[in-house]
Structure formats: C-alpha cells, structure tokens
Amino acid sequence: MAEQITVFVKAGDPGSDQVRRYLDQRGLQYTTRDVLSDPSATAILFGRLGRVVVPVVQVGERLLVGSDPVQLARFLPRDEPDGPGVSFGAAVRTVTAEIAAAKGLPAAYGVEVGSVRDDSPAAKAGIAPGDVITSIGGYTLTGGAEQFRRAVALRQPGDTMHLDVWRDGDTLAVEVTFPAAAPGAAEDGAAAGPPPDDSAGAG
C-alpha cells in the first residue's frame, strides 16, 4: 500500500493551489492541512523545518518544500512505474544566447520549438514552430531541452501540462492535454527538427 500523502497549505497561496492541482491531475489521494486553521499543522512544520512554510508535501516521514512539478514527480510514490508514456509531438532544442537575442528574450532560458507533428498534443494546444516554451507549471524552464524532456516523460495519459510560450514578444498561457489513449512514439526529445527560419546556430 502506498504511503499516505499529506499536503500542508495556506488558503489563497498560489503554490499550495498548484500542488493540489498537480496531485488531482495525477489521481493521487491526499490529506490537506491548512496552517491558518490547523494549529497542529503549524507545530509539525515548525518542529520539522524550524519554520512554517507552504506548500509542503509529506510522504511517510519525508518532506518536500515547494511546488516544482519535476521535483514533486520524483518525490511522490509511483503506482505504475512502467505505465504507458505520452508524446508531446514537437521537437525542441535548448535556447542559446543567440536564439534568445533573436527572439527578444531577456535571457537564455527555455526551449525553442522546431517541427510540430500534425494532430499531436502540441499541435492541438496551438504550439507552433518558432515558439519558445519558457516555463512549465509556472516554473521557469532553466534546464533546457533535458528538463523539458524529463517533465514530459513524467506525464501520463490523461494528464495536462501548463506552459508559458513566448511568441512575437508576448507570453501566452497554453494547456497541453495528453490523450488517455497515448500515441506510441515519443517525440519530445531535445533533438531539433528543421529549425525555425529566424534561429541561427545549433542548440
């Protein structure tokens, strides 16, 4: 039987809402303890961490502070480690300083989208060649294509992934939904397809 999951939250805290949304998407059962209305929750956090901070996810005796979806996925119990994977459906490459300058980004972070497969989750979400994915679930994508590939690999059929996309100087909020009947081949790797016309140099 999987270890019990407890989430220490604070009403109105965006990070707390993000963690609960992530757990709901994964179909995991958990207990919520609000530090504003549950004095014993505050005591537990102060006793274990020396401070009261949210969100905190507890699995058994282990604690994880924060709502980074990649760290959460590694921390949480995996009921189906060999379950079917998902495909993003677009080639990506790490944004270099040259690409960032060409796109008007303030710094080199994120991944640039190359070819997008027709009818893929990426295409259905409106992702287009030349887009730069800058964050996943509200967290800046600083680890390039490798971080993005890991984030996709942690998703399962039926999951959604919230992305911020930089396009023509504007940031767009995009929700990618992975179908419950996942396609076979994954195409979310770091190897770029045909690079967009306005991006010179390899990633």
- pLDDT above 70 (res 32): yes
- pLDDT above 50 (res 199): no
Token reading at 89:
């459906």
> Is the pTM for the entire model greater than 0.85?
no
Token reading at 108:
């080199």
Strand partners, 5: 59
Q: What is the pLDDT of residues 142-169, one digit of tens each?
A: 888 888 988 888 888 888 999 999 999 9
Phi, psi dihedrals of residue 189, rounded to the nearest 5°: -75, 180
| Across 135-143, average pLDDT | 86
More confident residue, 145 or 188: 145
For the chain, which domains are there?
5-75 (3.40.30.10), 90-177 (2.30.42.10)
Q: What is the pLDDT of residues 67-93, one digit of tens each?
A: 887 788 778 765 544 455 789 999 999
| Across 24-46, average pLDDT | 89
CB neighbours (10 Å) of residue 114? 20
> Distance between CA 23 and CA 10 in Å, rounded?
16
> What is the model's pLDDT at position 164?
95
> What is the model's pLDDT at position 80?
47
Q: What is the pLDDT of residues 115-133, one digit of tens each?
A: 999 999 999 999 999 999 9
Note whether 129 and 115 are within 8 A (CB).
yes
